[in-house]
Amino acid sequence: MKNKRQGLTLLGRSTTRYPDSPDKARLESFRNAYPGRDYTVRFTCPEFTSRCPITDQPDFGEITIDYVPDTLCLESKALKLYLFSFRNHNTFHEEAVNRILDDIVKAIKPRRARVLGTFNPRGGISITVDASWPDSAKETP
């Protein structure tokens, strides 16, 4: 059991410290037990919150993360705290979704990853941001 928890500092703690920005949050990982198989892991955060960088008003939405792990998998409690850290972070929706994708790719180097942000309407318009890695738009036929 100890070997499976190696490197995990947030899971199993009796107290939880909530980071107040993504820069202070830590994405943790564990070894993929099935590295020879392609399978998709999906996380859904239906209560994602960030703040508008112009008005400082809260923005609400849903973040869906799909990834195919290589040698590492994301630990869900660390991911929850990371996503929670956006609560008081001022960012545009486009920046938030792409930052989440970049941070996940940096943390676990998946085979593929996708982050979909579906944000609630503000001012009568909703925004959906869909970012993938590797970026298929950069691939040439």
* Cα 49 to Cα 61: distance, rounded to the nearest angstrom: 6
Which amino acid appears at position 4 of this protein? K
Catalytic residue among 20, 23, 45, 52: 52
* Cα 58 to Cα 89: distance, rounded to the nearest angstrom: 9
Annotated active-site residue 59? The verdict is: yes
Annotated active-site residue 38? The verdict is: no
Catalytic residue among 38, 59, 70, 102: 59
Write out the two tokens for 104: 């996940």
Catalytic residues: 52, 59
